[in-house]
A and B are shown apart, each in its own frame.
Chain A
């Protein structure tokens, strides 16, 4: 737990108080606004319709579908992510290459992955293909934190296990128990991503709560049932988050905070090496190279000369870049101030804000439309609205990444700087940020990749006349113009992939 700084100059207190409350209120409002809108819409609705909807057999059945699918995906992604993280660190050569290649599916939009899958298996439908595509798209969310946790482990631990004559299997299981924190963090992101996914399920014909909510939205005269369904999604998200919090609080998981986890470059048997290389190559082939090749083969490169392409790339980079920077700066400021005053509210923000990832984008979009058009018209259909909505939607992703990293940092440096009358901004810039650098790239890129591939929210709030790569892709794909669409999907893969690769190459160990 963080320690309260006892020696606290008065000027710092004043500055801190103002900054703290402004930021906290602003970001809490931003993050909670969509949830508030869901509740407000429901309160203003015909409650009998909402009640009927919530208790209807169909809602229960679809809820079951969603949870069943999310569990499949979470278990599959966690299993694959853990195995790959272990194997990748056992590779004496090509370690860096596979780390990058295996993280890159995160940069491929889920709907592009689903479309590529459909081209290979045109008859694919239902829970199995939907699960496979989602596992492929989300396993890096487990792979990356587990790999980082493994890298941070004291290598001597393995030697100690060996002294006790533990078999490789026992060592693996022991290491696994220390990885629970990393696995739980990754798994919850997978679960929530799977719960709120729309495009993949729509393409692969599997009905979940999100496709159901969108279906209701698609009929102009339909009532507020979509908000009722969204409430169910949010409640499931909160329950899962709560479960994770309880698990993390358990004794076994708390160990992982002190004894970080398993990594060793120890040699493994040749047969195991072959299996490891095969698994790494197959996963890279299926989840990265295949969608990339499909996009390459189908892409109409005449589009390169099109001004629409330049415009789409510019706006995509602009919105994803600015929004992810805002997310990271806001998270850093909040986390830094929490060093000075460890309020419970920050802890809750870190633990539960992640549940907002389960709110369907359409709900966030409509609620922001209402609020900005009515109460902040100067910003409506201005880039500020879109950036604010991206920040609200993806803030938990950046914030939780940075918060969990910050918990491992020594607090003494900040304390020391402040007690030596270094002003708060200088302490923030010269002491705190340099300490946080290893996690900055991951937090920025996770937000960046999620934002650049976002479609529904963008369609609702993008300023008139602007397009992004995702909206242009949607435009061509919905007109069966798959050659043009493939070019934009290629751009959607290449741009984040390049940034991701650069960040991973220069990533420092925690």
Chain B
């Protein structure tokens, strides 16, 4: 061993490390003219097929930086005007509203925004929806029978569900539900509802919908609100024998029954505007939306010409009417969650 160290001089070692580092970095640093950088907070399983199809159709290289929505939002806020990315694609629009508020997004061309349903895009044109998810009540029939399930979200705070409810208060998917509750019943009633949920949940407070869905399925807790696709993804990844849970919907237009939007936007620092627009147009096209369905993400395609046959048809859903601007960057819901002691 000593010989090894004496043979290699310190100088050579010093030279070697930056050389390797720089060589490895070359590929990541180059940003060619036919390349765009996509920051994705969406699941890789959803994003990758879209990117692959786009690359093969348009011969444009898409370099993807994967992370969590919120982490990406915080990273971009920290980077400010020094961002190295062109597009951002996220699961929840709170992150996009947050970035728009910080002045980090551009207004999309009307040719993109005008074709979309007003409920699925930013009113100021900063982002457009790509897919939709709906909040459902997931439950474990061995722990609670269907007849005992609440018909509206407000009932979940009822003491009769003590020790039966699980919640993921810091899951970004929960923010639209809290916002809808606030819109429907007011801030104080929402805080009381959240306090009731907290009391009923006891120790069943989870970090994410994935954890909550897993907990319900495997009998840690009887029921909870999650977005529908977590249930379907769980089903897709386990054998039928391992699935011990089901989903149901709250009463029509109940604030626990909300549609949330996954969206895409262009960063202010992007220098590849034509390619960015091409990518967004593709992702909203029939071809792009079909890729989304085929990826097994179990989200609702936003383009009405494409359907996911495995899901209850979007037209049959009766969610609470909630506009994207009402959700904002999640700070209102965050304040309510804090007041209720859930954060």
Contacts and interface: CB of A to CB of B under 8 A. Distances in A.
Contacts of A93: none
Interface of A: 58, 122-123, 125-126, 202-203, 205, 207, 211-212, 214-223, 318, 322, 325-326, 329, 362, 365-367, 369-370, 373-374, 377, 380-384, 387, 425, 428-430, 433-434, 437, 459-460, 462-467, 471, 475, 478-483
B44 A475 contact: yes
B67 A460 contact: yes
Interface of B: 1-2, 5-6, 9-11, 13, 17-18, 20-22, 24-25, 27-29, 37, 43-45, 63-71, 73-75, 78-80, 82-85, 94-95, 97-98, 169-172, 175, 203-208, 210-211, 214-215, 218-220, 230, 233-234, 236-238, 328-334, 337, 341, 343
A466 B75 contact: no
Nearest to A122: B218
Given A207-B205, A222-B334, A463-B25, 20 more contacts: A215-B170, A217-B71, A218-B172, A220-B330, A221-B94, A221-B330, A222-B343, A322-B21, A329-B13, A365-B75, A384-B18, A425-B10, A437-B1, A459-B66, A465-B27, A465-B63, A465-B64, A466-B28, A478-B210, A480-B230
A482 B22 CA distance: 35
A380 B83 CA distance: 10
Nearest to A362: B71
Contact of B84 (A322, A380, A459): A380
25 contacts: A58-B341, A122-B219, A123-B220, A202-B207, A205-B203, A205-B211, A214-B207, A215-B169, A216-B170, A218-B170, A219-B170, A220-B94, A221-B94, A322-B20, A374-B82, A384-B25, A387-B21, A434-B2, A460-B71, A460-B75, A464-B65, A465-B65, A478-B210, A479-B233, A480-B233
Contact of B70 (A220, A322, A429): A220
B343 A370 contact: no
Contacts of B333: 219
Contacts of B2: 433-434, 437
Contacts of B215: 205
A370 B333 CA distance: 27
- What DSSP secondary structure best describes chain B's contact surface? helix
B79 A479 contact: no
Contacts of A471: 66
A425 B25 CA distance: 30
A460 B28 CA distance: 14
Contacts of A464: 28, 37, 63-65, 84-85
A434 B1 CA distance: 8
- What DSSP secondary structure best describes chain A's contact surface? helix
Nearest to A332: B10
Contact of B25 (A382, A475, A483): A382
Nearest to A126: B203
Contacts of A467: 66
A387 B6 CA distance: 26
Nearest to A458: B67
Nearest to A433: B5
Most buried by B among A205, A369, A483: A205
Contact of A459 (B21, B25, B71): B71
Given A429-B9, A463-B28, A475 B66 contact: yes
Given A221-B328, A433-B2, A466-B28, A123 B98 contact: no
A279 to B, nearest CB: 31
Nearest to A56: B338
A208 to B, nearest CB: 12
Contacts of B9: 425, 429
A120 to B, nearest CB: 12
Contacts of B45: 479, 481
Given A220-B95, A478-B43, A479-B45, A459 B67 contact: yes
Nearest to B3: A434
Contacts of B44: 475, 479
Contact of B79 (A367, A370, A478): A370
B1 A325 contact: no
